């Protein structure tokens, strides 16, 4: 029996680790979930939904908002737990501060590290600090599990030994498809009551799902995104918007202020809500006409559900979706967003061209491939 320590602390990590946790547990391995506390409020709902514990938890001091302070606090605590538990393998996902701390703690304690969703790169400073986090993790990991050929090639170009790089697809596709299958007729029950009522009242309308959470989009960029969404509501009377707002009060204030000047009938077609839990998010994503997002995970999940994506960033480490035609980079410029959205709303041919029938990120069996590889002698 192999023992695993899965280090995670943010919503995307939990979602993307869920399928691997399920597969390893079903195979009889021992997997302990370490919750780092990087995201607290939204994490435990997901742990309960996916039946993932957590088995171990860290209480962060949060004495300073500085990233260096957060990383030092995480590393000190994760290092202690890895030293005490001595797992056979440390699992980390993606590019968060929690993932970096997990990889460093595994390396310092001579525990092999498996990096899920390895090799994503923009080649630029942004996204900050994720771009450098994942590069650093790539220097510390023993197993590298890139989701796509492009991410695999990035690792090989950086000198990672070929025998340590395993193309497996993205576990988020496994999770999204599993949630959609297991929700069945309970999809509406996954949503908060105000969102349920809103969608029921506008059942015949086309839905735009908007999410914007990245640090680099706070402030003026989020105001430009909100202005674009407001303009779309004015131009398209059959359009409705669901926008789960980031918990940061400044983000909510900016979005609400942008919408306050809209006519009442346009404002009534926008539902600004708290962050949705994962089943609710998948429900809205499956219902939407297209999505405007700066989220990497939603780019992947939308591709699995055949929904076009407008990416509110100037670059993406998920170029495969852009190259496949399922997404378009629009940044945060109001005019660019409106123009791209108008095309999807006015041109059925353009819309169908962005509706993918297969995802470039996987087929729903990524976790099984990872488990098979980890079961082999290192």
Q: Is the distance from CB of 31 to CB of 24 less than 8 angstroms?
A: yes
* Residue 30 β-bridge partners: 3
Task: Round to whole Å and give the CA distance between 107 and 85.
Answer: 14
CA dihedral (298, 301, 304, 306) in degrees, to 10, reads -40
Helix axes 366-374, 171-183, angle to 10 degrees: 130
Q: Give Cα 345 distance to the centre of its chain.
A: 25
Which amino acids are annotated catalytic? 95, 117, 130, 213, 215, 246
Task: Round to whole Å and give the CA distance between 311 and 126.
Answer: 14
Answer whether the bond into residue 129 is a cis peptide, omega within 30°.
yes
Task: Round to whole Å and give the CA distance between 212 and 69.
Answer: 25
Distance (Å) of CA 305 to CA 159, 173, 175, 354, 361: 35, 9, 12, 12, 12
């Amino acid at each position: 029996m192999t023992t695993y320590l899965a280090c995670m602390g943010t919503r995307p990590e939990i979602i993307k680790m869920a399928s691997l946790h399920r597969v390893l547990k079903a195979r009889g391995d021992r997997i302990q979930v370490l919750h780092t506390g990087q995201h607290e409020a939204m994490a435990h709902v997901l742990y309960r939904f996916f039946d993932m514990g957590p088995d171990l938890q860290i209480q962060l001091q949060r004495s300073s908002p500085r990233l260096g302070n957060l990383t030092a606090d995480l590393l000190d605590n994760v290092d202690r737990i890895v030293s005490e538990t001595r797992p056979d393998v440390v699992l980390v996902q993606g590019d968060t501060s929690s993932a970096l701390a997990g990889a460093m703690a595994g390396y310092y304690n001579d525990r092999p590290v498996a990096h899920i969703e390895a090799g994503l790169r923009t080649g630029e400073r942004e996204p900050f600090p994720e771009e450098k986090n994942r590069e650093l993790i790539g220097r510390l990991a023993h197993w590298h599990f890139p989701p796509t050929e492009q991410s695999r090639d990035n690792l090989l170009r950086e000198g990672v030994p070929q025998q340590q790089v395993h193309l497996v697809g993205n576990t988020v596709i496994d999770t999204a498809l599993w949630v959609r299958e297991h929700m069945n007729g309970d999809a509406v029950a996954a949503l908060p009551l105000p969102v349920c009522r809103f969608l029921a009242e506008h059942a015949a309308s086309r839905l735009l799902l908007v999410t914007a959470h990245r640090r680099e989009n706070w402030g003026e960029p989020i105001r430009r995104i909100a202005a674009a969404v407001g303009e779309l509501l004015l131009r398209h009377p059959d359009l409705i918007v669901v926008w789960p707002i980031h918990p940061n009060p400044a983000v909510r204030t900016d979005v609400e202020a942008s919408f306050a000047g809209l006519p009442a009938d346009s404002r009534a077609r926008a539902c600004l809500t708290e962050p949705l839990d994962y089943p609710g998010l998948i429900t809205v994503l499956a219902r939407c006409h297209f999505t405007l997002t700066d989220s990497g995970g939603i780019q992947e999940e939308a591709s699995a559900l055949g929904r076009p994506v407008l990416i509110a960033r100037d670059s993406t480490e998920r170029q495969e979706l852009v190259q496949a035609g399922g997404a378009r980079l629009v940044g945060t410029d109001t005019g660019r967003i409106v123009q791209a959205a108008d095309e999807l709303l006015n041109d059925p041919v353009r819309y169908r061209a962005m509706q993918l029938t297969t995802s470039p990120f996987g087929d729903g069996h990524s976790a099984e491939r990872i488990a098979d590889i980890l079961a082999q002698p290192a």
